[in-house]
Amino acid sequence: MCQQPAVGLSLTLSVLAEMPTAAAALVVPHSPVGDHTDIETVRTFAAQCDVVTFDHEHVPADVLAALQADGVPLHPSPDALLFAQDKIAMRRKLSEMEIPIPLWGVATNAADVDEFATRSGWPMVAKTPRGGYDGKGVKVISSADEIAEWLEQVGQPGPLKEGVLLEEAVQFTRELAAVVSRSPSGQAAAWPIVETVQTNGICTEVLAPAPQMTDDLATAATEAALRIAGDLGVTGVMAVELFELTDAATGKTSFVVNELAMRPHNSGHWSMDGAVTGQFEQHLRAVLDLPLGETRAREPWTVMGNVLGGDYPELYPTYKHLLARDPGLHIHLYGKGVRPGRKIGHVNVSGTDLAELRGRAQHAKDYLQGVVDE
Ligand code: ADP
């Protein structure tokens, strides 16, 4: 989705694609196919780029180190990216910075899990520190036995080498995200805080801005995200996923940080159509150290709905009807193969009536998934 703004900014993109049918390879003319974990493949690719950035966090540290040794400008830098790759490193760093986070610990054996339970209580949340996405690698557990297989992998090369990350099960009222961008020269910008609605661990809807949010909470969360971006030396777009907490006695709201993503993120997709500058354009501006664009919302509300693959063999029946039914709707389909639950596109719709916008986004998703046919 960086290709569209790249055209406007007159930039030439190249993508190291995992396969010829990868979504980015379908739209970026120069997309060599190669393995992002192979040092020589990535070096050869990077040699013809002025700047290299990432659309996921899974490029291994030795590959990043080789590029750095070659003098390739990497944005974000490996030093910053580590905190989006490794949840234990992220928790350690945010603790040092005194950013509010859930109670956490690291378990290398069952006794560690039981010891953590004396502080967190059961159930607790166990996570693989590396390689998780869309809730894969996250388990709510009520005994150490439930992660016996993970504990067996501790100490071996792989995502659980350092241990299993344990967290208290946070009783949040909703999930939010603060999406910001920062350039190498230190300019930074923040979009309004959004609410992210999750279904079965997958984000299905984003409301921008987050409804009924106090100014105090919005300011505190935005400040925290900008401070994280500055202290970690993040370059490009960063999403800070947050849990909103509500004090039962006073009704006062606060937040803890769940995790960091250092790239354009699902919680920022609304900005493509709903903000003066979308996150993909901003990411390009930031990694090239160009002046950043304005992040103000164009309309009071924008609703983003993720289109997930369903069980229907034909996901894309003609959507001519949908375009005609709702001319204000923006549809973004990624050209990905359909698998149940896979994110294969999104819709954005902006306006003044939040409930009406949510209804329109839901209808569009249902229509694209074949749940409704009119
Ligand atoms: P992923 O990297 O797979 O996106 P996350 O750490 O974001 O994993 O967790 C996925 C989801 O699991 C979160 O969006 C949230 O709904 C839930 N979750 C994660 N950590 C906690 C926690 N400590 N307490 C309660 N729910 C959690």
Ligand 1 atom, smallest distance to 203 CA:
14
Q: Is the CB of 57 under 6 A from ligand 1?
A: no
Tell me, in angstroms, the distance from the centre of ligand 1 to residue 86's CA: 14
Ligand 1 atom, smallest distance to 127 CA:
6
Q: Is the CB of 173 under 6 A from ligand 1?
A: no
Average pLDDT per consecutive 10 residues, the chain (374 residues; last block may be shorter): 98 97 94 97 97 94 96 97 97 98 98 98 97 83 97 94 97 98 98 96 95 98 98 98 98 98 98 98 98 98 94 71 95 87 94 98 91 85
Nearest C-alpha to atom 5 of ligand 1 is from which residue? Answer: 135
Tell me, in angstroms, the distance from the centre of ligand 1 to residue 258's CA: 7
Reported pTM: 0.97
Q: In a mutational test of the pocket of ligand 1, which residue from 104, 125, 142, 206 has the highest number of ligand atoms less than 8 Å from its CB?
A: 125
Q: What is the pLDDT of residue 59?
A: 94
Q: Which residues contact 106 (CB under 8 A, 6 or more apart)?
A: 88, 112, 162, 163, 164, 165, 166
Q: List, as one string, the DSSP characters of 219-273.
A: HHHHHHHHHHHHHHT--EEEEEEEEEEE-TTT--EEEEEEEEE-SS-GGGTTHHH
Q: What is the pLDDT of residue 226?
A: 98
Of 334, 351, 345, give the one whose Cα is nearest residue 368: 345
Q: What is the pLDDT of residue 368?
A: 87
Ligand 1 atom, smallest distance to 170 CA:
24
Nearest C-alpha to atom 8 of ligand 1 is from which residue? Answer: 135
Q: What is the pLDDT of residue 341?
A: 84
